[in-house]
């Protein structure tokens, strides 16, 4: 577990890891390419480790150079191993990204239902509808699902998503790579994670056009077997967590490695609360010593719309807003179980929060929290509780580090580097 106490204002500079949420589909995309892929800035969290294990179990070579632990080379293999260990695959939600690569290699994909954080159901129905548009056949049972790939097929595949699903958008993109067919995807998810895969395809010779209305892909006229190089973008969520930690302690710090476009909604929220923040040349600067709390209520509503507030920013902002004046409203309908995980833990620290519904809450700040024993029941709950512990009187102990490390290899270490009074302890 981790113990954290109220800290001096955090200060200094720290670099975020590569994004877990971008690395996972990029690894699956690399497997779908059937050519060597050199992927840099790969984070070392446990979810990425699980994905690499799944690739190796299903016949791909996944090697990390000894002198560069953040680079992974994915190589096709001639070994026939179509089915991964279901217990390993069930550890992460992103196992479903492997379906297209498995269809391309073996004509079928048998996987357990997605696992990972307990923040709501991981519905696959929209994924199955995407695969049906390619002619694939899906069957399900209590243990998981089987997708059997169609052969042949020509012409453009047109799909209109009923909502901007990130998982279904990536499924459509990766399936069209394996099929080698043009794609027109209506109402796509345009999150940085999806756009990272699209950019990787553009580097690989695909013609890509992106708008809010549609995402279109055209395969290259010829495919070479030469190695291609992709890069995982910096983790916007880790950058947001660190920014909120700096802000809650009234510090000044530079957070390196995240792209401005990826964190603009977070910067907007911080400024609305009176915390000076800006990003330029890959550096997010937070100058909370100059903060002038506005007292304006923050409406932090998670959204799938382009330019909307990423749901993964919401827990960190919630922990920050508890310490600032105003009556704040937070909502996350995308991950319906997240408030169920986070809010009871904050209440253990003394927070007073009015739950308007299972996915909406309202509270007035500032509130003074008191240290207690809390649990990281999912990745974002764990990071939000670390932020809360930086201002809670006394000692806050956070258990469930295995959940936190699924998305962050060393978040407590980064906080300590900025001056946080935090350390790992043996229970």
Domain boundaries, the chain: 2-17+234-424, 20-231
Mean pLDDT of the residues in the chain: 92
Task: Find the mean pLDDT for residues 9-27.
Answer: 96
Task: State the Cα–Cα distance between residues 333 and 339, nearest whole angstrom.
Answer: 10
* Sheet order of strands, 354-357 included: 299-301, 326-331, 360-365, 354-357
Percent of the chain with pLDDT over 70: 97
Task: State the Cα–Cα distance between residues 365 and 323, nearest whole angstrom.
Answer: 6
**pLDDT tens profile 214-262:** 999 999 987 777 889 999 999 999 999 999 999 999 999 999 999 999 9
Q: Are strands 137-140 and 373-375 parallel, antiparallel or unpaired?
A: unpaired
Q: Is 380 exposed, middle or buried, given 0-12, 13-18 or 19+ CB atoms closer than 10 A?
A: buried
CATH class, domain 20-231, is alpha beta
Q: Do domains 2-17+234-424 and 20-231 have the same CATH topology?
A: yes
At residue 52 the predicted structure's pLDDT band, cuts being 50, 70 and 90, is very high
How high is the pLDDT of residue 120? Answer: 53
Q: Are strands 228-231 and 37-40 parallel, antiparallel or unpaired?
A: parallel
Report yes or no: 157 and 134 within 8 Å, Cβ to Cβ: yes
Task: State the Cα–Cα distance between residues 396 and 391, nearest whole angstrom.
Answer: 10
Cα distance between the two ends of the chain: 7
Helix (H) or strand (E) holding 423: strand 421-424
How high is the pLDDT of residue 153? Answer: 76
Confidence check: pLDDT of 169 > 60: yes
How high is the pLDDT of residue 321? Answer: 97
How high is the pLDDT of residue 57? Answer: 92
Task: Find the mean pLDDT for residues 262-266.
Answer: 95
Domain 2-17+234-424: assigned CATH number: 3.65.10.10
DSSP state string for 338-352 = HHHHHHHHHHHTT--
Confidence check: pLDDT of 70 > 90: no
């Amino acid at each position: 577990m981790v113990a954290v106490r109220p800290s001096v204002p955090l200060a200094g500079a720290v670099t975020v890891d590569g994004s877990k949420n971008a690395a996972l589909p990029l690894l699956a995309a690399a497997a779908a390419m059937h050519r060597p892929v050199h992927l840099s800035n790969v984070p070392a969290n446990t979810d990425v480790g699980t994905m690499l294990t799944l690739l190796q179990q299903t016949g791909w070579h996944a090697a990390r150079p000894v002198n560069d632990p953040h680079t992974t080379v994915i190589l096709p293999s001639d070994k026939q191993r179509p089915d991964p260990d279901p217990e390993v695959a069930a550890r992460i939600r992103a196992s479903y990204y492997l379906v297209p690569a498995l269809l391309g290699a073996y004509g079928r994909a048998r996987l357990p239902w997605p696992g990972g954080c307990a923040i709501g159901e991981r519905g696959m129905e929209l994924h199955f509808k995407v695969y049906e548009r390619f002619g694939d056949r899906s069957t399900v049972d209590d243990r998981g699902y089987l997708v059997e790939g169609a052969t042949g097929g020509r012409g453009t595949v047109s799909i209109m998503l009923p909502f901007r699903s990130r998982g279904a958008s990536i499924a459509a993109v990766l399936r069209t790579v394996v099929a080698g067919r043009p794609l027109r995807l209506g109402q796509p998810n345009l999150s940085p994670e999806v756009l990272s895969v699209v950019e990787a395809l553009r580097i690989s010779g695909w013609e890509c056009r992106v708008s809010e209305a549609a995402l279109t892909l055209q395969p290259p006229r010829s495919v070479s077997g030469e190695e291609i190089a992709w890069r995982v973008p910096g983790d916007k969520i880790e950058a947001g967590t660190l920014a909120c930690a700096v802000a809650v302690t009234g510090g000044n710090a530079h957070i390196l490695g995240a792209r401005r476009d990826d964190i603009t909604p977070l910067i907007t929220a911080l400024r609305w609360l009176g915390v000076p923040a800006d990003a330029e040349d890959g550096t997010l600067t937070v100058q909370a010593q100059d903060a002038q709390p506005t007292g304006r209520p923050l409406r932090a509503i998670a959204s799938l719309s382009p330019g909307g507030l990423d749901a993964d920013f919401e827990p960190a902002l919630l922990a920050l807003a508890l310490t600032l004046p105003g009556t704040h409203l937070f909502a996350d309908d995308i991950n319906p179980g997240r408030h169920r995980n986070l809010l009871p833990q904050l209440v253990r620290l003394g927070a007073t929060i009015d739950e308007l519904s299972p996915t909406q809450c309202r509270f007035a700040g500032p509130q003074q929290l008191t240290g207690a024993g809390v649990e990281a029941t999912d990745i974002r709950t764990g990071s939000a509780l670390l932020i809360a512990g930086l201002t809670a009187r006394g000692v806050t102990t956070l258990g469930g580090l295995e959940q936190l490390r699924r998305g962050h290899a060393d978040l407590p270490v980064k906080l300590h580097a900025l001056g946080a009074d935090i350390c790992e302890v043996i229970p």
